[in-house]
Amino acid sequence: MTPGSPEALRAALVTNLVNSGALSEEWVSSVAAVPRHEFLPETIWADENGGDTECSRSESPDRWMKLAYADVPIVTQWDDGAEADRSMPTSSASMPTMVVEMLGDLGTAPGHRVLEIGTGTGYNAALLSHRLDAENVSTVEVDAKVTAQARTALRSAGYTPEVVCGDGSFGWGARAPYDRIISTVSLRDIPPAWLAQTKPGGVIVSPVSPLFGGGAVVRLTVGDDGTASGPFTRSAAFMMLRQQRYQAASVDDYLPGDWPGGSGQSWTEFDPEIIGGDWLAQFATALALPDVYYRRHEFGDGGWTWWLFDTAVTSWATVDSVPGESRFEVRQSGPRRLWDEVEAAYNQWTATGRPGYERYGLTVTPAGQTAWLDKPDNVIPEHRP
């Protein structure tokens, strides 16, 4: 193989993924065979050195090809295709390590019928088609332009899974039931349709991103009763399923009139930036407070004001994190004391030994979902002092 060629770069990627332990043996031949670069557009934005840098294939072909086989996530669309301000990435080729780890979580076997939610570039569907045969793979993408591009790339590469343009939150009932469902977009709540479309004993693998922050991949096994339960396997950051993007109410809906809006003042020795700098701490707090979210605003010399809100639009709180201070001003208003709840949830997490993602899990029913620690009957209670 010629150094720098797609074949050489793909072989190097396979070697790196195997050596890291991310790529399991049953997926080696698929990753070695599927040309990732054929699923990428002319212009991409790669996550390099903490930022998304633009790269054009026509202008920088060597760099573009190296990025195609680098172990980094690549943005392929901004702002649902508007791309005027490039404020929010909305479609991508996921980091290869995450791709193969999630495929490993899926636990597929020859003959399995698989539904993928979030076609994106089509690369993941190609890997599934190579291993399981395209006739066993269906993939759903909400964006019509992204769907068309993925369908073209798949056919060009020689793969013909069923590619559907539609709302992935409804799954795809036409070919149900499935042995496996895998989502390459994140969500807060597992849709009931996915449970109904998975065979008993089947598996659902999906990133979950709670409102408060953090995110992790969950592996659910569907039971005979139509419910599903299983552990989280690793941290993950994915773009949200469009139908579950949270549209927050205006601050004015929480705080009518002038500041401080009748709020009570108190003080805390707990700096909220401790949570802000810890992805796992955010995740643990979020599982205990699924209806609470926060926003941060910088002020002064490195200070941050934390705003906490509940989704019912009944309560709010602020905490000012001032560098060098030993205590921090808290303002809370409404029937709930949101900062007290966040602090209690964080303290409970530390009291149980700061458990990692793999000790947490979800149980999902058609009516909703609950989080648990270590075992399904150890449900995480909401912390409301």
Region of 204 on the Ramachandran plot (φ > 0 left; ψ -120 to 50 alpha; else beta): beta
Cβ neighbourhood burial of 12 (10 Å; 0-12, 13-18, 19+)? middle
Report the run of H or E that residue 114 belongs to, with start and end. strand 114-117
Distance CA 47, CA 122 (A): 20
Q: Known catalytic residues?
A: 94
* Sheet with strand 303-310: strands edge to edge: 264-268, 328-333, 316-321, 303-310, 292-299
The DSSP bridge pattern shows strands 216-222 and 228-235 to be antiparallel
DSSP class of residue 187 equals: B
DSSP 286-337: HHH-TTEEEEEEEETTTEEEEEEEETTSS-EEEEEE-TT-SSEEEEEESSS-
